[in-house]
Structure 1
């Protein structure tokens, strides 16, 4: 097993003492490692100097504001081969592995500079984009895949910030944190993500900062793959979470459709609330690992769901404190609290079904849709900020009119309901005809106009802009979402993977009674045994799948191809075709166009070549004439 970056004992106050990073200046989307023994693969001072070199290179190559297309287009005349080669040489032969990391660091610097220097924000954003494109080209130009994966993408590097090294991170994590889409969408990056997702690259047992190949990847035997540690592979964790989520939904469906009129808790309800407790502990774990940085839409969504379930359970427990008999004092209260509990439980039904989307984001259709929804939610903040200000202003005006009309503010509920109806595009003007006439109806018309014509159209425009921006880069956005999900499993993993609600077993059956006194070897063996029992159905399926995959890997290696290669239809007879021998390659070479240069540039080059030839002819002609003159003078 890999050394642990997180332990439940630390959260429970038993043994571990997590350290905090005071030098990481950029916003983190992923949980970070708690292991202080992880250090930069290259001294932080050297990495910082290389990043400064890269920054200078980009500043000189992008000296002024340009159209972004000139930076991002293929065969750009701004980001040329010479620029990419110069960036590669920034680290020299010894430290060239950290150049991509330094490019992402420079991108972060430029993005920060765009925020603090708004007068040059567009220029700095353009330079940040240039850093992404150079990093993308370096990744895609690297032919040595082992070097790319192990040294460039997965090695951890630090820079100097506030006089001290930052927490070491690798390019895979850095690109996700910075949402560097061109880097994430590069072929080498996605190959690395694919290997991490399948568990083909795992953390080294002796060095948690390094990743090594899964040694049984090409083992065609069944039993070596039946290993509880394989649950650390993101693909299996995601599959198990999806199964648990479906089971959670089934339990809820049974509970909400079999109401216990007397208020008692049956076995299905107990299991449902046990699952909820496990998910709540899982959310606490995420918050403990990464703090508020990890909190996002889905965390708020899940926490709202769990809070409603906890309140529903609380009302059920309160109801149990009252007698069942209606004739007894307080007998009616039992039915009232029981009904209130089930009403709250029914209220969570849309959230239970919506929660499935969280585990379906690995499917491209759902993934792209979730990215759009996420961006739309962020854009909605502008609308709601304006809406709150407008509502407060008009609400104060209406309440003031109500108090001035009869001296008593008794129409507040009516005012609030009418304002909400206007927001929902169903205004009720009849109620304001006699309200502080004529000022009430006039003010309500103004409020309706501001809400329905101005603010709601602003919201629609924001949504439309978000939709277009995302779907222009739908593939890249999906790859970024998939990479983020993969790194959530890989970055800062537990030593023992107990997925909610089985994390309750880890806490109350393993950590509290055993971890603080049991020897490490015996404790690890106990964890493996329990994980083997819990995950046995999934492990059997995974072992069968990996055995078949091992046969494919061996077949690919015999052909000299990559482990994840697959034979397509056009490749089946590839070895039986000789383009050079039958002259087809020469014919294609003569007929293809030069896409790297514009036609005008090609013609100018041809003209220049012809002029050079003409100059050579004139020089030779001049020399021959001079020679004839010399011969004639001698005669």
Structure 2
């Protein structure tokens, strides 16, 4: 297993990360709409300076633990300070972005230069480690979030400017867990998730603080624009997902013998239409990059429900007689399709529960396992085609007994670990049964054990890094809402109101200002129950923010129980209490290994001994000189 991971795991990881960067969650604004935060040529020069530095710092292949160690002897404080100075004072904000660019360059180079792949992977890791250190060591959090993490930068590629992208976007696209797991990055994500940082309407490249963030007035937070906040959108999506499931449960447990649509079915199919339109709209806007596992899963669910609805309509218009056989047939077939989707309805909830740690970590494991399954199914497909062709050839030699269905069923049972040997005993003896034994050995012993090994490897990799994987998933979910936000947020099924009540009748002729006010009025009405709750939450948070600012704390500070009396306890070494001095004398030095400390102590003792010997020698020489002078004077 270790050999497999060494030869294939890192290469697969690099390819997945580079593919993920191109496979964006949602398209960012085009370069024409969002200007780059700094001159593109200067940013590219900073990236080249950093690339040169990393090449000099890591001239040969090193063990990854040597680079990632918090007290690394390679990525030292001097190296980090040098990286910070790569852009000077004027272009200091783009250094973290350029480090991620260098990481991507090294990974691309590793794919084309396999003989140096391990060395280039080490250099890519070093870029991420330095970026993490810079983020966590920055004291000015406001500058870090607004200038270094959220401002979009571009580089030159083949003489053209790339699409502007921020550090938070590039880190999620590249799946750089070290950067995503840093404290400053996660604080930025929390501010975006809570809506404390919003995109500037006049300059989409900038993020600004929500102006009423510390306003304790309840009515100031009753604003339909607050529905752009990711936390509120996600809560509403979860609510409608549970409502969707409740409606489905009510429909499937109350079968209507007459075949007529009741209220619950009408609402269920209406919500299905809303979700289907939302998926199609995103595919048209985003393109093929939007298509992923969950999108295909949801689209399949909605299409099955659409088929169920069409069959119900066919049953209704087929005959007005309730006892008609054809009507009952189509009505029963419609309910069969509806019942078939029950597992998909429940699994669909996981899509919106990934912001909770338990479900999020589990979804990451499942996602990686699904990717690992592609290797198994690729091998299985080749094996199946080969053996199926052999069985079909044997079947064609016997014109009296067609057993094509038996062959396919027997091979399928073998894959499900339930082989049917009796069906092949009389099939083209002795070749049929021998070939079937070989097929079962290849599938059940070799391929299925490869799949188990891949699953085990995936689970160990993800479970050992579950916290960082969850933070990456949470960051990706947040960016889905803020990366390319809609001007007017109509969450399904409210998008039906937007399409049929606003866009079709008004957008094509109404002035933009008037149309925008109309959208705000409509959103204020349909979201009023939620806005009443969110306004209370934001007013409460505003009081906490004011208190934190009064105490000189950060806005998101939450006081814990051990902090209540911390101000009354003195740990000052110079104070009357000597507890701090005792602790300082007895604490171990974990930054330096014990062997190094002993060597340093030995060097200090040698230095003191050398100085003592030199002092004695100097005294002896001076004493000898004095004695010589005295003897010459006596003569």
Name the residue aligned to 1:458: 450
Quick check: 1:527 aligned with 2:519? yes
Structure 2 equivalent of residue 69 of structure 1 = 65
Quick one: which of 535, 539, 547 aligns to 2:531?
A: 539
1:364 partnered with 2:354: no
Structure 2 residue 468 is matched with structure 1 residue 476 = yes
1:240 is the counterpart of 2:236: yes
Residues in 2 aligned to 1:236 and 1:130: alpha-carbon distance in whole angstroms: 38
Q: Find the aligned partners of 1:566 and 1:226 in 2 and give their Cα distance.
A: 25
Structure 1 residue 178: Cα displacement: 0.3
Aligned to 2:586: 591
* Aligned with 1:412 (options 396, 400, 404): 404
Residue pairs, 1:90-105, within 5 angstroms: 90-105=86-101
CA distance in 2, matches of 1:571, 1:483: 29
Match for residue 506 of structure 1 among 471, 478, 498: 498
Contact kept? 1:31, 1:289, Cα under 8 Å: no
Separation in 2, partners of 1:34, 1:564: 29
Once the two structures are superposed, residues 84-127 of structure 1 have per-residue CA deviations (whole angstroms, 9 ceiling, x without a partner) of: 11110111111010000000011111111122222222222221
CA offset digits 1:331-367 (Å, max 9, x no partner): 4222212111110110000000110111111110000
* Secondary structure at the counterpart of residue 212 of structure 1: strand
Match of 1:206 among 184, 189, 202: 202
Q: Distance in 2 between matches of 1:630 and 1:454?
A: 91
Give the TM-score taking structure 1 as reference length.
0.94
Is 1:494 the counterpart of 2:492? The answer is no
Structure 1 range deviating more: 279-288 or 524-533: 279-288
Q: Are 1:352 and 2:348 an aligned pair?
A: no
Give the number of aligned pairs: 608
- 1:195-227, CA deviations, whole angstroms, 9 ceiling, x for partnerless residues? 000000001121111001111111111101111
Partner residue in 2 for 1:385: 378
- The answer to whether the Cα contact below 8 Å between 2:227 and 2:233 also exists between their aligned partners in 1 is yes
Match of 2:15 in 1: none
Offset at residue 276 of structure 1 (A):
1.1
CA deviations over 1:611-632 (Å, ceiling 9, x no partner): 2222222222222222222222
Gaps of 5+ in 2: 1-18, 631-635
SS at match of 1:406: coil
* 2-structure distance, mates of 1:139, 1:288: 37
| Structure 1 unmatched runs, 5+ | 1-23
Cα contact 2:415–2:444 (8 A) shared by 1 = yes
- The whole-number CA distance in structure 2 between the counterparts of 1:161 and 1:502 is 42
Are residues 1:188 and 2:184 paired? yes
Distance (Å, rounded) in 1 between the aligned partners of 2:531 and 2:250:
28
Show the counterpart of 1:485: 477
Question: What is the CA–CA distance in structure 2 between the aligned matches of 1:360 and 1:326, rounded to whole Å?
Answer: 43
Q: What is the distance in 1 between the residues matched to 2:389 and 2:447?
A: 19
Cα shift at 1:326? 7.6
Q: Is 1:605 the equivalent of 2:600?
A: yes
For residue 392 of structure 2, the aligned residue among 391, 395, 399 is 399
- How much has 1:25 moved relative to structure 2? 11
State how far apart, in whole Å, the 2-side matches of 1:263 and 1:306 are. Answer: 21
Confirm or deny that 1:563 pairs with 2:563. no
- The secondary structure found in structure 2 opposite 1:321 is helix
Pick one of 613, 627, 634 that aligns with 1:632: 627
How far apart in 1 are the matches of 2:322 and 2:579? 93
The separation in 1 between residues aligned to 2:234 and 2:207, in whole angstroms, is: 21
Aligned ranges 1:86-125 → 2 under 5 Å: 86-125=82-121
Equivalent residues in 2 for 1:146-295 (5 A)? 146-295=142-291
What RMSD over aligned residues (CA atoms) do the two structures have, in Å?
A: 1.5
